[in-house]
Structure 1
Amino acid sequence: MPLPIDVDAIVQLQADAVDQWHRDPIANPYSDFMQLVCQQHEHNYRLWHQEDIARAKDVSDAEIAQVKRNIDDLNQKRNDWIEKLDDSITLMLAQHGVETTEGAPINTETSGSAIDRLSIMSLRLYHYEEQLERDDASDAHRELVTQRIALCQQQQGDLSNSLKELLVDLFAGRKAHRTYRQMKMYNDPTLNPYLYAAQKLRAG
């Protein structure tokens, strides 16, 4: 059975989107599973650039506070969409009538989490390659960046291959698939001690 998920196409989507979004407004022209991949990638793209601002020294405390809230929100969305990717794979497995072998092992990382890591790697590669184009970069800087790009490309290839192998095992029923709920506590006013204590003070 041909795999319904093309890992090479995912890696290409992520690379193309990062390049396009640095020049044009963010867009998501995809459908079905690839639309989810692109949306999850967008949250990482926005998160990356908010984290750049958070490390700046020339912005006000008020701006940093807002950036921190943006980071919390985007990180929540990033994790929510990892779950959506894994839920979509659960649906695909059911649609293809995959029966998992009894006692089949579960991978330590879900497919959605691996796609998230590939998304971050595409961002890292883009921004490292950007460093090679700097007019003020020294030869030593370019050499270091070139070495890191090679390492990132190796890691991207290894992760892509591992994800392909995992998907083959999942759709052959040799491994079990499960969505792991992130269950973040810090954004939940009923679970974050500071938030529910402050809420109680306001109510009192």
Structure 2
Amino acid sequence: MNPSIGEYNTREIITFAKTENKFGGLSNMAPGYSLFINEVNIQSSEILYQACRFPLFPTIQKEIIETKNPMDAKAVGRKYQQFRRQDWDSVKFKVMKWCLEVKLIQNFDTFSELLLSTGEKTIVEFSKKDTIWGASPLNPSILKGKNALGRLLMELREKVKSNMITKETVILEPQIKAFLLYDNPIKEVHNDNYFIDDLDDIHAH
């Protein structure tokens, strides 16, 4: 994925920025969409994404995950910028796509409903500074940027509509080297009920 810069008319699109607004749940910062990876509870997709920047440094990952606050997690990530994956700029879109797929299947009912409620409209993350993941105001009615996050969300929306991703879908890890959490490879990810059913099976025997 190497998104081109686009211009978006604010009257024709759906934007999100603050997490408490109508479409705020589309943001990676949104609370209420917790994740469970390799037996680790993670508060939000933003925190998971930040942790993925430092696969060879489990102590940094731990510090990020234990913040339980996406803004704090970003700040920790900035603090350790020199230790991030050397190939980060070339793999970050793949990692974000995976984070969003995990957010979807582990919060399927609420997140799929939110995605589908956007209809056919273009989804754009409104940001005054970030023109890679979002788009910034060019004037009162036009936003300009690569809008990579909005594009990934629209791609995910299409997969929900066509049943390419359902609650039962198993999300496979992105094909990149050293995809690790706390020194352990991250493998396939299941929905949030999978582990409960699994435990029931264990206790039944």
Pair in the same fold by TM > 0.5: no
Q: TM-score, normalised by structure 1?
A: 0.31
Structure of larger gyration radius: 1
- Structure having the higher helix fraction is 1
- Structure having the higher strand fraction is 2
